[in-house]
Amino acid sequence: MLIQILNGLVYGGLLYILSVGLVLIFGLRRVVNFAHGALFMVGAYVGYAANMVFGFWGAVACSILVLSVLGVALDRFVFRPLQKEEPMVTVLVTFGLLLVLEDVVRTIWGRDLLSFPTPAAFSGTVALGDSSFPVYRLLVVAVAVLVAAGLSLWLKTSRAGLYVRASSVDPLTTGMQGVDTERLSALVVAMGSALAGLSGVIAAPLLALSPSMGSSILIESFIVVVTGGLGSFTGAFVAALVIGQLHNLGVVYVPHIASMIPLILMVAVLIWRPNGIVRT
């Protein structure tokens, strides 16, 4: 059971790193970004290419950097021009971007599944009683905790973080106080995209890389955001951990309905607490 719980923490950690980027972007831009799954996938492939040249940590840095630049471009050329349009227009455009990015990756890396080797420094296992657990999976949990702590510290203590919190509540008044909300939005979208890239490259050694890998995890990341409460960072953290456990235990004990369990949880939470597990 301990191994299953740890595996649930690993999956929940990955979901959190991906979902909190969605929360950041939605909080400031009010955009339901369907391209976020494609950013996760691109992060994994960029990491795959960079890993062959720079090693694992170089791959992590390259994915974060490339996805940050892609996020700035996404905000400048997609979100900003569409901010006065109906939300459905942005949803359709970002869904189109997801399909375009999948085709771009198919063109560059092909349709075959690719494997990302586990970093040599984290390839061992640790003994847990009569069982053993891969060190790399513990690294994934540690990265998720560091992201949560770092993001919380940034939002509560830095000037930019305080501006982000203020602008997410009242962008008009924040702008009247002299804050450049457009530049702030570009920063937030870059950070959200970088987190998608980080989750992609961290997940790469655990998954088979394919152009469709972003679409499958995107649904569960949206479930995390909705279940936790739109715009709630704490809610996303709690929901990701709960869904990670339910997903993993479901696959082990009730595999025929495992994919439905997160959806059932989301429906139950929306009925019980329409604003999510943690109210915003």
Give the model confidence (pLDDT) of 73-96 as tens digits.
Answer: 999 999 988 888 888 888 899 999
Residues with Cβ < 8 Å from 111, sequence gap 6 or more?
210, 211
Give the model confidence (pLDDT) of 209-223 as tens digits.
Answer: 999 888 878 888 889
**What is the rounded average pLDDT for all residues in the chain?**
89
Percent of the chain clearing pLDDT 90 (strictly above): 46
Tokens for 22?
């969605």
pLDDT the model gives residue 231: 76
- Whether the pLDDT of residue 257 is over 60: the answer is yes
pLDDT the model gives residue 135: 94
Give the model confidence (pLDDT) of 59-77 as tens digits.
Answer: 999 999 999 999 999 999 9
DSSP helix, strand, coil percent of the chain (3-state; round to 5): 80, 5, 20
Give the model confidence (pLDDT) of 173-200 as tens digits.
Answer: 877 877 888 888 899 999 999 999 999 9
pLDDT the model gives residue 280: 55
pLDDT the model gives residue 67: 96
Classify residue 171 by burial, with Cβ atoms within 10 Å: 0-12, 13-18, 19+: middle
Beta bridge partners of 114: 209
Element (H, E) at 131: strand 131-134
- Whether the pLDDT of residue 235 is over 90: the answer is no
